[in-house]
Amino acid sequence: MNQEALLRVEKLNAFFKKEDGKIQALKDVSFQVNKGELLAIVGESGCGKSLTSLSIMGLTAKSCQVEAEYIDFQGENLLKISPARLRQLRGKELAMIFQEPLTSLNPLFTIGFQLTETICLHNPVNKKQAREIAVETLKKVEIPRPERILSEYPNALSGGMRQRVMIAMALVNKPSLLIADEPTTALDVTIQAQILFLMKHLMREYHTSIMFITHDLGVVAEMADRVMVMYAGQIVEEANVYDLFSRPLHPYTQGLMNSTIKIDQTDDLLATIPGTVPSLADMPEGCRFHPRCPLAKDECRRICPDLVETEPGRKVRCLQRGGEGSIRFRGSECPENMDKGGNDNG
Amino acid sequence: MKQKGKSYRMPRWLRMLWRSKTGLLGFVIVSIAVACALFAPWLAPYDPNAINPLNMLKPPAFMAGGDPAFLLGTDNLGHDILSRLIYGARVSMIIGVLSVILAGVIGTAFGLLAGYYGGILDSVIMRVTDAFHSIPRMLLAMVAVTLMRAGIGTLVLVIGITGWITYARLIRSEVLVLKEREFVKAAVTIGTPDYKIICYHILPNVFSSFIVVSTLAVATSIIAETSLSFLGLGIQPPDISWGGMLSAGRNYLATNWWVATMPGITLTMTVLGIMFLGNWLRDFMDPHNQGLE
Amino acid sequence: MGKYLIKRILQMIPVMIIITMIIFVLLNVAGDPTVNLLPLDATEAEREELRTAMGLNRPLPIQYLDFLGNAVKGDFGNSYRFNEPALDLALARMPMSVQLAGAALLFAVAMAIPLGILSAQFANSPFDLVISGISVLGRAMPSFWVGIMLILLFAVNFRMFPVSGSGTASHLVLPALTLSIQNAAQIIPLIRSNMLSIMHEDYIRTARSKGLREWSIICIHAFKNALVPVVTIIALEIPGLIGGALITETVFAWPGLGQFLIQAIGNRDMSVVQVCIFLIALITLVANLIADIVYCLIDPRIRYE
């Protein structure tokens, strides 16, 4: 890793408090986002990719407990800084776009209000200057007649337009890191392509790094520099986009690749991954993927694999694919649910 | 409920009632009020209308100067307040329940007509409910009561008739939803006559909201009755109403506070009990809660 | 929005007509007005003469149209007791009632909004439990009983406010408070539950992601959304507010429309009663219209329907 890191996350764990104990939703998630890169996080719904992004922003629900050794953003540990400092960073250095453009904008305030609010909060400008910046940014996200849109309410806009507004709102203060949580999932395919292109374009213009969360491998191939695959609250594979698509290592990644439609596909059947994602409350012992894994051996049922660097810039969590070092005996079972007493706060 | 275990199992409603503190409290209060209404002659220690000049304005037994014979004290005519409260429950319960039945029948009929047949009938009925809604219910009841002979029957009629719009609107909206459900559409498709659809498919399905609204409506009706009696327009002596007792006790507020306060507390407790029971019923009848044990 | 308002105003016309019908029916149920107008020993022939003179022998529909025509002109006849136009008498009492109801509404909203927001923010805390308890109690107590309690407490015991009457601002406090308690008790739980659900909305998360302070999120983004159903419930509660005012005015001897009306009912002064019902219904309709306009102003979604 010779590139400069913008965000470094080390051993991120998240728990949901339930009446009877707590359920672990993220387990030892460690990664980094480098300056100027687009890191994609891929996985099925419920694998913890959204929770990872919300944990970084500090926007998790009250019932969720987040722990990590550190979440280092530009030299500051986001878990240790004061709430006031975190608020300064949010919207200014750290911005986020959400999945549902229809519900992510407050229906009772004009676009102009919601945009200028962010601008005035983080910049020493008056209302008029803020309005000019807002118009400027709306132009950047290719919204026609931006002056008129400012006085419109979200309901007057289509989903694609609202997502453009969301992007404008996220980028208006030129953040260093933009977290995009499935920003195009709710949109039509044609609109999706436009939005993706726009994000890629603006990323270069604003020198922003993007953490892009999606379940769509097509989008990943299109957008990402580096990819992180998540399964059941863990990172299972990490690689640059070319390596991942040409040579997926983890059986889950391979399964994901096989279950996307290819242009040259001849047979009618689309390959699927058998079984379903295990529930967080009832994780299988050993490798979390073994019940669905075509390569599963007896050891996979007992041993929790580690995320191991197999070659520079490439990590995988699989006993069958890792090097020698990956097969380490860590006790006959992995305590999943109640192993953390909340004593290690990084 | 269906499973017959060897050990006795409480019915589901009782178990759920036991678990809800406010529901249980409401149930207990309402049971006491109903018992007072039914068995007033046996429960009341004295004749509620017995005038006793020797025992005028006695404070409650727990206060200095109180007489243990008159638990809640006596009023300006020497009536035993506790006995009057017990008899007053009778009037409140009768009027509360009967007027709600009347309002329910009228309102349900119009709500069914409006919701099921729609069209002009619906518009007309809805405009009528709008009109009734814009005249405060108390106002209408006050005028109507003065025009007729005051008495329990008149109050039932007046409070019942002025309460129908709640039901009409509720039933109409429920019917509109039910009409779009598959089982009703299926029944229409196979040519089931309207009255059968209404009786077998619609009425049973609006029953639970009907019961919940009715419970709360009893509380409103009791408040309406006591308000009218308070104004001197409702129950006339020798019949006893909490509202009338309150009104009589007003003049003694500064010196003998209990005369007005005792009926006030009784009334508040009763209404509170009915509201608690109604809220519990709403949770109990909510289909989303059926599985919760 | 213009279209919507025009539609709403047009809808008011049939409602007004039905209201006049209700009033007319009440008038006819009231029985023979000549009983009050003539001395008790008047002969049947004299009564008949007066009935003909008043047009009471004509068919009911004609009488109704006549009544409607006069009502449109603002002519509801004279009060037989005061021998003055009933409308003028009623209008003279209106300002006092409007003052009372307005103050009550203001009190209610001023109490309910902060208490509702705080209850939601500190949900299930002791504060929340106390407020919930008080609002349940507030809904269970009839307004005349609340009035009596307030008199007992603040006028008789603490001597802070006058027992009854009008004239100064301190006369207004207890009756307005009496009226407002029930309203506040309805609004508080509504704001509380709205706020609780709204705080989980996506746009609140967006607002947080922008770096806004929690309190400005609550007071700006969440509050405006919580207000929408509150406007509706206030509109729905207006007849109840006026109905409560009738009784409250009696309890506090407040010289408004309500007290005047109750006296008129006692005297069977039916033209006054009619005019009062008509005015109150009109106020309710207009208040509902205003609530709808406010609703439109708060929530732009209505305008795009």
| Helix residue ranges, H only, B71-136 | 81-117, 119-134
Q: Which of B128, B129, B134 to mutate to test the interface with C (most CBs of C within 10 A)?
A: B134
Alpha carbon distance B242, B225 (integer Å): 9
Query: How much is the pLDDT for B151?
Result: 80
Beta bridge pairs of residue A16: A23, A64
Give ∠ CA B8-B14-B16 in degrees, rounded to 5: 115
Count residue pairs from A and C with Cβ separation < 8 A: 73
Query: How much is the pLDDT for B5?
Result: 47
Residue of B nearest to C274 (CA): B143
Would you say A270 and A256 are in contact if contact means Cβ atoms under 8 Å apart? no
Residue C251 Cα distances to A261, C93, C272, angstroms = 78, 17, 21
Query: How much is the pLDDT for C47?
Result: 74
Residue B14 predicted with pLDDT over 60: yes
Residue A160 predicted with pLDDT over 80: yes
Query: How much is the pLDDT for B273?
Result: 92
Would you say B243 and B226 are in contact if contact means Cβ atoms under 8 Å apart? yes
Query: How much is the pLDDT for C25?
Result: 82
pLDDT band at B54 (very low <50, low <70, confident <90, very high): confident
Using DSSP bridges, classify how beta strands A308-311 and A314-316 pair: parallel, antiparallel or unpaired: antiparallel
pLDDT band at C36 (very low <50, low <70, confident <90, very high): low
What CATH number does residue B36 fall under? 1.10.3720.10
More confident residue, C243 or C56: C243
Average pLDDT for A114-124: 90
SS3 track for chain A: CCCCEEEEEEEEEEEEECCCCEEEEEEEEEEEEECCCEEEEECCCCCCHHHHHHHHHCCCCCCEEEECCEEEECCEECCCCCHHHHHHHECCCEEEECCCCCCCCCCCCCHHHHHHHHHHHHCCCCHHHHHHHHHHHHHHCCCCCHHHHHCCCHHHCCHHHHHHHHHHHHHCCCCCEEEEECCCCCCCHHHHHHHHHHHHHHHHHHCCEEEEEECCHHHHHHHCCEEEEEECCEEEEEEEHHHHHHCCCCHHHHHHHHCCCCCCCCCCCCCCCCCCCCCHHHCCCCCCCHHHCCCCCHHHHCCCCCCEEEECCEEECCCCCCCHHHCCCCCCCCCCCCCCCCCCCC
Residue B38 predicted with pLDDT over 50: yes
Residue-wise pLDDT tens digits, C230-272: 888 888 888 888 888 888 888 888 888 888 888 888 787 778 8
User: Which structure tokens are listed for C235?
Assistant: 């509109």
Q: Which domain holds residue B163?
A: 28-49+85-289
Chain B residues near residue C142 by CB distance under 8 angstroms = 223, 226-227, 230, 267, 271
Chain C residues near residue B233 by CB distance under 8 angstroms = 265
Give a yes or no: residue A301 inside a domain.
Answer: yes
Average pLDDT for C175-180: 91
Query: How much is the pLDDT for C40?
Result: 66
Query: How much is the pLDDT for A344?
Result: 36
Average pLDDT for A245-270: 75
Q: What percent of chain A has pLDDT over 90?
A: 12
Inter-chain residue contact B135 with C280, CB threshold 8 Å? yes
Q: What percent of chain C has pLDDT over 90?
A: 8
B abuts C (3+ Cβ pairs < 8 Å): yes
Give a yes or no: residue A87 inside a domain.
Answer: no
pTM for the whole structure: 0.80
What is the CB-side half-sphere exposure of residue A53 using CA atoms within 13 A? 29
Range from A199-213, B175-189, B228-242, C45-59 carrying the lowest mean pLDDT: C45-59
Query: How much is the pLDDT for A263?
Result: 61
Would you say C198 and C122 are in contact if contact means Cβ atoms under 8 Å apart? no
Average pLDDT for A24-52: 87
More confident residue, A283 or A183: A183
Our CA-based measurement puts residue B158 at a distance from the nearest CA of chain C, in whole angstroms, of: 12
Our CA-based measurement puts residue A190 at a distance from the nearest CA of chain C, in whole angstroms, of: 25
Asked if C219 reaches chain A (Cβ–Cβ under 8 Å), the answer is no
Our CA-based measurement puts residue C196 at a distance from the nearest CA of chain A, in whole angstroms, of: 13
Alpha carbon distance C239, C227 (integer Å): 20
Residue B106 predicted with pLDDT over 90: yes
Other CB atoms within 10 Å distance of the CB of residue A320: 19
User: Which structure tokens are listed for C181?
Assistant: 């308690």
Q: What percent of chain A has pLDDT over 70?
A: 89
B abuts A (3+ Cβ pairs < 8 Å): no
Our CA-based measurement puts residue C212 at a distance from the nearest CA of chain A, in whole angstroms, of: 7
Residue-wise pLDDT tens digits, B162-177: 888 889 988 998 888 8
Q: How many domains are there within chain A?
A: 2
Residue-wise pLDDT tens digits, C200-209: 888 999 999 9
Our CA-based measurement puts residue C81 at a distance from the nearest CA of chain A, in whole angstroms, of: 54
Inter-chain residue contact A98 with C206, CB threshold 8 Å? yes
Residue C207 Cα distances to A117, A296, B147, angstroms = 10, 45, 59
Query: How much is the pLDDT for B101?
Result: 93
Residue of C nearest to B221 (CA): C142
Asked if A81 reaches chain C (Cβ–Cβ under 8 Å), the answer is no
Chain A segment 140-179 residues within 8 A of C by beta carbon are 153, 155-156, 166, 169
User: Which structure tokens are listed for B161?
Assistant: 């008739």
Our CA-based measurement puts residue C127 at a distance from the nearest CA of chain A, in whole angstroms, of: 20
Residue A323 predicted with pLDDT over 80: no
Average pLDDT for A211-218: 88
Other CB atoms within 10 Å distance of the CB of residue B128: 21
Give a yes or no: residue B224 inside a domain.
Answer: yes
Our CA-based measurement puts residue B67 at a distance from the nearest CA of chain C, in whole angstroms, of: 24
Inter-chain residue contact B143 with C143, CB threshold 8 Å? no
Give a yes or no: residue B229 inside a domain.
Answer: yes
Residue C76 predicted with pLDDT over 80: no
Amino acid C240 reads G
How many residues comprise chain A?
Answer: 346
More confident residue, B22 or A270: B22
Residue of B nearest to C146 (CA): B264
Q: With H, G, I as helix, E, B as strand and everything else as coil, classify residue B190.
A: coil
More confident residue, B286 or C14: C14
Nearest beta carbon to residue C221 from set A95, A100, A106: A106
Among A143, A174, A205, give the residue marking a domain's end: A174
Q: How many domains are there within chain B?
A: 1
Domain chopping of chain C, boundaries: 20-73, 94-298
Helix pair angle (B164-179, B152-162), 10° resolution: 40
Among A174, A189, A218, give the residue marking a domain's end: A174
Q: With H, G, I as helix, E, B as strand and everything else as coil, classify residue B19.
A: helix
Using DSSP bridges, classify how beta strands A5-17 and A22-34 pair: parallel, antiparallel or unpaired: antiparallel
Query: How much is the pLDDT for C86?
Result: 81
More confident residue, B105 or A280: B105
Residue B4 predicted with pLDDT over 50: no
As for the ipTM of the complex, it is 0.82
Asked if A103 reaches chain C (Cβ–Cβ under 8 Å), the answer is yes
Cα end-to-end span (Å), chain C: 9
Chain C residues near residue A88 by CB distance under 8 angstroms = 211
Range from A43-57, A330-344, B5-19 carrying the lowest mean pLDDT: A330-344
Beta bridge pairs of residue A227: A40, A239
Inter-chain residue contact C145 with B139, CB threshold 8 Å? no
Inter-chain residue contact B142 with C140, CB threshold 8 Å? no
Query: How much is the pLDDT for A326?
Result: 42
Alpha carbon distance A291, A278 (integer Å): 9
Those chains having 3 or more beta-carbon pairs within 8 angstroms of chain A are C
Residue-wise pLDDT tens digits, B58-81: 777 777 776 777 777 777 777 888
Among A150, A174, A198, give the residue marking a domain's end: A174
A102 exposure class (CB count in 10 Å sphere: 0-12, 13-18, 19+):
middle
CATH architecture designation of domain C94-298: Orthogonal Bundle (1.10)
Residue A325 predicted with pLDDT over 60: no
Range from A118-122, B137-141, B273-277 carrying the lowest mean pLDDT: B137-141
| Helix residue ranges, H only, chain C | 2-29, 34-37, 44-54, 60-72, 86-121, 126-140, 143-150, 169-198, 202-209, 214-216, 223-251, 257-267, 270-298
Residue C130 predicted with pLDDT over 90: yes
More confident residue, C56 or A191: A191
Among candidates B212, B203, B211, B210, which has minimal Cα distance to B184? Answer: B203
Among candidates C54, C57, C68, which has minimal Cα distance to C24? Answer: C68
Residue B125 predicted with pLDDT over 70: yes
pLDDT band at B83 (very low <50, low <70, confident <90, very high): confident
pLDDT band at B182 (very low <50, low <70, confident <90, very high): confident
Residue of C nearest to A87 (CA): C211
Query: How much is the pLDDT for A301?
Result: 79
Give DSSP secondary structure letters for C225-267.
HHHHHHHHHHHHHHHHHHHHHHHHHHHTT--SHHHHHHHHHHH
Would you say A346 and A67 are in contact if contact means Cβ atoms under 8 Å apart? yes
Cα end-to-end span (Å), chain B: 12
Q: Which domain holds residue A331?
A: 248-337
pLDDT band at B288 (very low <50, low <70, confident <90, very high): low
Beta bridge pairs of residue C148: none
Those chains having 3 or more beta-carbon pairs within 8 angstroms of chain B are C
Those chains having 3 or more beta-carbon pairs within 8 angstroms of chain C are A, B
Residue of C nearest to A108 (CA): C299
pLDDT band at C304 (very low <50, low <70, confident <90, very high): low
Inter-chain residue contact A91 with C201, CB threshold 8 Å? no
Residue-wise pLDDT tens digits, B149-166: 778 888 898 888 888 888
Average pLDDT for C191-196: 90
Residue of B nearest to C21 (CA): B131
Query: How much is the pLDDT for A264?
Result: 64
Give a yes or no: residue B20 inside a domain.
Answer: no
More confident residue, C186 or A280: C186
A abuts C (3+ Cβ pairs < 8 Å): yes
Query: How much is the pLDDT for A268?
Result: 60
Q: Which residues of B touch C (CB under 8 A)?
A: 127-128, 130-140, 142-144, 146-147, 219, 223, 226-227, 230-231, 233, 243, 246, 250, 253-254, 257, 260-261, 264, 267-268, 271-272, 275
Range from A163-172, A337-346, B37-46 carrying the lowest mean pLDDT: A337-346
Our CA-based measurement puts residue C299 at a distance from the nearest CA of chain A, in whole angstroms, of: 6
Q: Which of C209, C231, C298, C301 to mutate to test the interface with A (most CBs of A within 10 A)?
A: C209
Average pLDDT for A239-265: 81
Range from A100-114, A172-186, B56-70, B71-85 carrying the lowest mean pLDDT: B56-70
Give a yes or no: residue A79 inside a domain.
Answer: no
